Amino acid sequence: MKVLMFGWEFPPKIAGGLGTACYGLTKGLAKNDVEVLFVMPKASSEEDQSYVRIISAHDVEVDPRYVHLQSFEDTVSFIQVNSQMVPYVGMNEYYQIVNQIESGVFEAEIADGKRKYEFSGKYGEDLMREVEQYAIVAAEIARHNDFDIIHAHDWLTYKAGVAAKRVSGKPLVVHIHATEFDRSGENNRNDIVMGLERFGMESADAVCAVSDLTRRIVIEKYGISADKVFTLHNAVEPNDKELVKEKFVKEKIVTFLGRVTFQKGPEYFVESAKLVLEKDPNVRFVLAGDGDMMPQVIKRVAELGISDRFHFTGFLRGTDVDKMFVMSDVYVMPSISEPFGISPLEAMRAHVPVVISKQSGVAEVLTHAIKVDFWDVNAMADAIYGILQYPALAQFFARKGKEDVDNLKWESVAQKLKNIYQWVLDK
């Protein structure tokens, strides 16, 4: 079985769980005798291609005669928009982009007649234009490659997946790693992004959701038929090297690692930190990440008078993430709405006890994690304090948590995905 897969990121150039999941799935599929041709906007020479062949859309020459293919232009419309939907950016870049958008600097355009399209592969001001151009390149790739099925990850690639489907006639599977309801909530959602999500799911022959939570959102909020929506939980890569616990400070360390955005609930982490420090001032809290809520979070930390106990590392990736977990005594994920959440698995892999919100997909597969409502900062603080104060409790969750994640393997997830592929092909 051969799969043409469209993604937006791939290790080591990742900004979140999407790239991590793509790597795990492609590696797992290879072990299940599935050949994957993985397309991304702009690849480097650093990607691991042991289990997958990678095509960089940035390097693909497009025949200008096919840019406006009548065969799919009725379904794939290249919308020119100015959008403030700019995930995965730091606070300085975020405000710079917003100011430029408001001043009318950006105008998305299709590079008609060009043989190559420029891609940054980032989540910045040209995101919508790159999404549009990605679909053009996808059609070109689909015309010149042999495959059985198409797989598109998240809304950024849905136009590409549909374009490939219309050109090739092959079935399409779309993968939901997060929805606009998760990112922005009920009242602040980006209707353009939500429209692209619905467009991709309606056009697909099957939809994979990373949790039962996400599956319910897809069915109830987007109106997608339940018959074609499948839950496919994420997993975690095993750590081949033995992690040695090391501390550079004598105090216990409590860590938040993720985007500093509304969805991730960083403000609840700050409020629970204040409550813990009232009971035990000898604790350090680390917020590892970046995002548009960073100024608000810093201000609140100052207002609460806990600045001397709080550390901001900025965005971490790769080995720096592992080093942070090695130093941590507790990991906290207070997400308001989390489709899945791979970071708790990475923490538990490093023998770190975790406190997670009940409003997360990962809560569905973890037995030995402390689960609280994201808004209940008292319960969150009590859980953190209990782990810090009772070594036996910490050791129990560290040991049992590691057993939990050892049973969550990408190879098993990939086998389920292969079965979904076969179901689609047999329809």
Vertex 402 angle, CA 399 and 404, to 5°: 115
Tell me which residue of 129, 73, 82 sits closest to 101, measured CA to CA: 82
Q: Which two tokens stand for residue 84?
A: 């403030």
What letter does residue 245 receive in the DSSP assignment?
Answer: P
Same domain, 201 and 146: yes
Query: CA triplet 10, 13, 17: central angle to 5 degrees?
Result: 60
Q: Is residue 240 included in any domain, yes or no?
A: no
**Tens of pLDDT along the chain (427 residues)?**
999 999 999 988 776 788 889 999 999 999 999 999 999 999 988 899 999 999 999 999 887 766 654 334 444 444 434 444 445 555 665 555 555 545 443 333 344 444 688 888 887 778 888 999 999 999 999 999 999 999 999 999 999 999 999 999 999 999 999 998 887 766 677 888 999 999 999 999 999 999 999 999 999 999 999 999 999 999 998 876 666 666 677 899 999 999 899 889 999 999 999 999 999 999 999 999 999 999 999 999 999 999 999 999 998 887 888 889 999 999 999 999 889 999 999 999 999 999 999 999 999 999 999 999 999 999 999 999 999 999 999 999 999 999 999 999 999 999 999 999 999 999 8
Q: What CATH code is carried by the domain that includes residue 392?
A: 3.40.50.2000
d(CA 28, CA 117): 31
- Hey, CA dihedral for 379, 384, 385, 391, is it positive or negative? positive
Same domain, 25 and 141: yes
Phi, psi angle pair for 84, to nearest 5° = -95, 15
Q: Where are the beta strands (DSSP E) in 83-205?
A: 149-153, 172-176
- Provide the whole-model pTM: 0.84
- Whether 203 and 256 map to the same domain: the answer is no
Is residue 67 assigned to a domain? yes
Q: Which amino acid is at 347?
A: A
Spatial contact of 171 and 149, defined as CB atoms under 8 Å apart = yes
> Do 6 and 119 lie in a common domain?
yes
Could you give the CA distance from residue 237 to residue 244 in angstroms, rounded to a whole number?
18
Residues 212, 340: contact at Cβ < 8 Å?
no
In terms of domains, do 189 and 320 share one? no
Whether 394 maps to a domain, the answer reads yes
Is residue 254 a contact partner of residue 328, using CB atoms and an 8 Å limit?
A: yes
Same domain (yes/no): 363, 302: yes
Residues 317, 187: one domain?
no
Q: Please, how many CA atoms are within 13 Å of residue 259, restricted to the half-sphere of its CB?
A: 24
| Claim to verify: residue 181 and residue 321 sit in the same structural domain | no
Nearest alpha-carbon partner for 243 in 122, 350, 159, 151? 350
Answer yes or no: do 162 and 271 share one domain: no
In contact, 254 and 332? CB cutoff 8 Å: yes
Are 285 and 310 in contact, with CB atoms under 8 Å apart? yes
Q: How far apart are CA 1 and CA 149, in angstroms?
A: 8
CA distance 228 to 207: 6
Q: How far apart are CA 225 and CA 257, in angstroms?
A: 35
52 inside domain:
yes
Q: Is the peptide bond before 12 cis (omega within 30 degrees of 0)?
A: yes
Helices and strands (H and E) in the chain: how many: 14, 13
Has residue 191 been placed in a domain? yes
Q: How many domains does the chain have?
A: 2
**Cβ partners under 8 Å of residue 237, min gap 6:** 20, 23, 24, 27, 410
Same-domain pairing of 334 and 421: no
- For 365, the token pair is 């597969």
Rounded Cα–Cα distance for residues 58 and 118 (Å) = 6
Cα torsion through 42, 48, 53, 56, rounded to 10: 10
Q: How far apart are CA 342 and CA 344, in angstroms?
A: 6
Give domain status of residue 241, yes or no: no
Return the half-sphere exposure (C-beta side, CA atoms, 13 A cut-off) of residue 277: 20
Chain centroid to Cα 268, Å, comes to 21
Are 421 and 285 contained in the same domain? Answer: no
- Establish if 302 belongs to a structural domain: yes
Cα distance between the two ends of the chain: 16
**Residues near 407 by beta carbon (within 8 Å), at least 6 away in sequence:** none
Q: Domain containing 293: what range?
A: 252-406
Based on the fold, state whether residues 344 and 228 are members of the same structural domain.
no
Indicate whether 284 belongs to any domain.
Answer: yes
